[in-house]
Structure 1
Amino acid sequence: MTLSPATPSAALFPGGQASVALTITNPNLASVRVGSLALDTSRGSGGFAVDGAHAGCVLSALSFATHTNAGAGWTVAGSGSLSVTLTNALSMTASAANACQGATFTVYLTAGP
């Protein structure tokens, strides 16, 4: 199973939240259940990346809330993919630097049981 890097589905601003969108792909013949989607802190900078034009944006201003689809998780059909939007999963602190204005963020996620 693979997860595409998640991207905010709307502009993120200091003190605000944004939903993130990703695709879960299952190359196996059998269905796979994903119980949770959490930040993969081993990738990027603590689980986040920012576009090259905004390298001065301090990514510690971002946080991600683990999602479980209200405890139901997600089921991805065999040899299929599933588009997922995680509502208000990404937050930015009110003290985020001006260098973050107009930045494009990537959120790296990991799937849990």
Structure 2
Amino acid sequence: MTTPKPGSILLGTTRPAELRDWYRRALAPGYQGEGPIDLGGFLLVIEQREDVQPRNGEPGRMILNFHVDDFDAVEAQLRAAGADWLVPVEDRSSGRFGTFADPDGNYLQIIQFKQHA
């Protein structure tokens, strides 16, 4: 049996240009062009939708996690982009975590897992 590999996620929004600009600033500052934003081989598709509200009513239902190698650098990049931090950055037994929201209220996390010898 073949296991499919996730390749992209679609974010429906009432304001695609604003959301696309925010994601570029926050997570892909060097990205140019229109269409899907390449996040290290995983594509973020942002699309105008008429069947969604301006803010996500159940943002905890799905949280998109980004695994990072340099937590401090990504945290600084997100702060510069105006990320709305929901939970203060914290060290846990498995690594360092930070939870934030995009302008539509979708939850995201950056995680730097501890390397085990």
Is TM more than 0.5 here?
no
**Between structures 1 and 2, the one with greater strand share:** 1
Q: Which structure ranks higher in relative contact order (CA pairs < 8 Å, sequence separation ≥ 6)?
A: 1
**Between structures 1 and 2, the one with greater helix share:** 2
Q: TM-score, normalised by structure 1?
A: 0.24
Q: TM-score, normalised by structure 2?
A: 0.23
